[in-house]
């Protein structure tokens, strides 16, 4: 999965957390058979919850590319791609890494 966070490629220790872009920490989670880097378990859980929500709403089996813009405080405006399909959405998480707000964007 190709991941862009606030304009920069992410998902490895060298490039940054797959959700927030942070380079500190040392947490990994396997998503769709790919080992992704996260700064912490909270970012990993938020990412998993977000990916699962997109898959549920789109009936996609996997996501090829995910573009994430924003942060914890403002929420994140995102674009997910699978093949030639694209799904745009806004997501904001609560303090327990659950989805507080999820809106489809036109």
pLDDT tens digit at each of 106 positions of the chain: 999 999 999 999 999 999 999 999 999 999 999 999 999 999 999 999 999 999 999 999 999 999 999 999 999 999 999 999 999 999 999 999 999 999 999 8
| Cα angle for residues 82, 86, 89 (degrees, 5° grid) | 115
DSSP letter, residue 3: E
Instruction: Report the pLDDT value the prediction gives residue 106, as an integer from 0 to 100.
Output: 84
Largest CA distance in the chain: 36
Instruction: Report the pLDDT value the prediction gives residue 79, as an integer from 0 to 100.
Output: 98
Instruction: Report the pLDDT value the prediction gives residue 44, as an integer from 0 to 100.
Output: 98
Residues with Cβ within 8 Å of 42's Cβ and at least 6 positions away in sequence, in order, are 97
């Amino acid at each position: 999965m190709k991941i862009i966070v606030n304009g920069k490629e992410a998902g490895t220790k060298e490039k940054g957390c797959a959700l927030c872009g942070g380079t500190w920490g040392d947490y990994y989670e396997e998503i769709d058979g790919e080992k992704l880097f996260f700064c912490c378990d909270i970012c990993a859980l938020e990412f998993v919850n977000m990916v699962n929500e997109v898959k549920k709403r789109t009936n996609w089996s996997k996501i090829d590319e995910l573009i994430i813009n924003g942060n914890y405080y403002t929420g994140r405006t995102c674009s997910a791609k699978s093949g030639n399909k694209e799904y745009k959405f806004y997501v904001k998480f609560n303090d327990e890494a659950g989805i507080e707000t999820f809106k489809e964007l036109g």
